[in-house]
Amino acid sequence: MKVNVNNTNSNFKLSPEILSSTFSLFLLTTLLVIIHICFGHLFFHAIAELFSVFVGVLMLVVIANTSTFIKNSFLLYLSISYFWLAILDVFHTFTFPGMILSDNTHGQLTLQFWVYARFIESLVLLICPVFLKKHINGKLYFSISCIVCCIIVWGSLNLKNPQMITEEGLTPFKIYSEYLIMFILLLALLNFLRLRTSFNPSVFWYIFSSLCLTIASEYFLTLYEDVYHVSVIIGHVLKFLSFSLIYQAVVRTTLRSPFESLAQVSNSHDAIPHPSIIVSKECKISQVNNSALQLIKISHDNINNDHIHQHFHPNTFIESQCSFCQSIITGTTLSQETVYFPQYDKWYLLSLTPLKLLDKVEGMVQTLTDISELIASNDKLEKETKEKTSAITKTQNLQKYLASIFDSIPSMLVAVDTKCLITQWNLKAQETINREFKSVQHQPLEKVFPFLKEDIDTILTCIDKKQTKIINNRQWTKSTDIKYFDIIIFPLVVDTMVESLIIIDDVSTQFKLKEQFDMAKKMETIGQLSGGIAHDFNNMLGAILGAAELLSLKNDKTDSDRSIYLEIIINTVQKATGLTSKLLSFSRKKQLHKTVIDFHEVIDDTLLITQ
């Protein structure tokens, strides 16, 4: 535990405050000398001693009333100790020769109070660094100190020994007691030097200087022969200065530093860029910063003790139903509640933090962070996001629509880049090749569609010159299956990128139907030709048959050979007539009739003709 504030610089420097204190001590010394010269030794002694009494009492009063805030065992120990030292100094002052309690024994009683008080003071200064880290029970120590003080007062008033002074001067006991006190003070001085980093530089300087002056005071108080000697004057001046420094170290530092801290806190409060309001549990405004005053455009004097709801809560809220007022009354913490203030047309983040004093909530701190621009930006961003989301949705729907059209086309559609690598295809192409698109994406076109291998140069030319090309009846033999395709190559221009869209139609069925149609046309032509020839030939056969039958009628039955030949002619003509009838039937010029034939007769007739 460091006294007052933390020491961050072990290198001691004389601050303006210390220089000012040094100058003040010089003026006080001059004043004491003037008092001694003008009013005598007795008045001088009373002033010097009563000042130490004043310092001791004031130390206890200040520390007792600020201990709950400061919670410093070191200062509490010093203040209680110096209070009871002040009580002993009161007895020392009023038992001094010439004062109301003097015993007229050359100052024996006053010196006893002096030695006991200084011995107690030296022990206090030697022990006090312990309470930099140790806690002290103030009430218990106060009680013990009171008992010790009472014992010393009783002993000094009732016991004549030890002797401090005789008619010859100071006794050895008095002198050696002062030397012992000086030794204890020297040990205390060394102890403070060892622990100097535990003190604020100013506090350390005051205590260190006070110890040095106390040692010097004790030394001079070993040199006199009577209580009016000049060394007594010097010793009391040094004691006066020593207590002045103790006053600087404890009383002034204890009172001044908190107020400086409060002033610094107040300035820091004004430096906060957001409105900050300190309110009591009754919702009464006690302090606002400059940002809050700028918000409401009212001076601090005009809003002090006003209800916070009047200025710093939305005016659309009813005061009795305001949730923020209720949170202040109950001491509930709120963290960054988004609130709209219609009276200022702004959005704020409202926070409430308890203001505790001795672990008890005494009020609240309300802060307002302006987020109007952020809200406006968020609204704008949300609107833009909705518009972009709507545009993206429309684009996605359009893509799905186009993809649906793309896939519903019965032709194979294949898109390739300038290197003839596949970039897209439709469902028909996938079904025909029987492969997933991912497996063929960015694959060479001729690898997936081997029948297009000889057309790669043509495709590249179409891409380069942005021309359209039609290729018919491209044959693709796959195992024993022969297919035919019609191919159309379109240049596909996307921004500055030129690709190609290849439309592939499977025309295998159409090609076979065309072949059959062509064959049918040929057969029809042959049939028409055969019908014409058969008709003419039938006429000639009729003439031959008629002539042969006339010869047969006029033929002499005895001539058997002639009869045979005529029968052959007649039979052959009849067969030729049957063949002609068949040719006419082929040419669709005669109705077909199904009949049963005898293959033996056909064979016999054929053999007969060939003989």
Report pLDDT for 147.
92
pLDDT in tens, 503-525: 888 887 887 888 788 787 877 77
Average confidence (pLDDT) over 423-442: 86
pLDDT in tens, 359-376: 677 788 999 999 988 888
Tokens at 227, concatenated: 């209580």
Determine how β-strand 169-170 pairs with β-strand 165-166: antiparallel
Burial-class residue 523 by CB neighbours within 10 Å (0-12, 13-18, 19+): exposed
Measure CA 131 to chain center.
45
**Is the predicted pLDDT of residue 327 greater than 80, yes or no?**
yes
Assess contact for 577 and 543: CB atoms under 8 A: no
Report pLDDT for 350.
92
Strand partners of residue 413? 503
Assess contact for 455 and 480: CB atoms under 8 A: no
Tokens at 216, concatenated: 């010097």
In angstroms, what CA-CA distances link 496 with 388, 493, 500?
Answer: 25, 7, 13
Whole-number average pLDDT of the chain: 78
* pTM check: above 0.75: no
Sign of CA dihedral 33, 36, 42, 47: negative
Half-sphere exposure of 549 (CA within 13 A, CB side): 9
pLDDT in tens, 20-48: 666 676 777 777 778 777 877 777 777 77
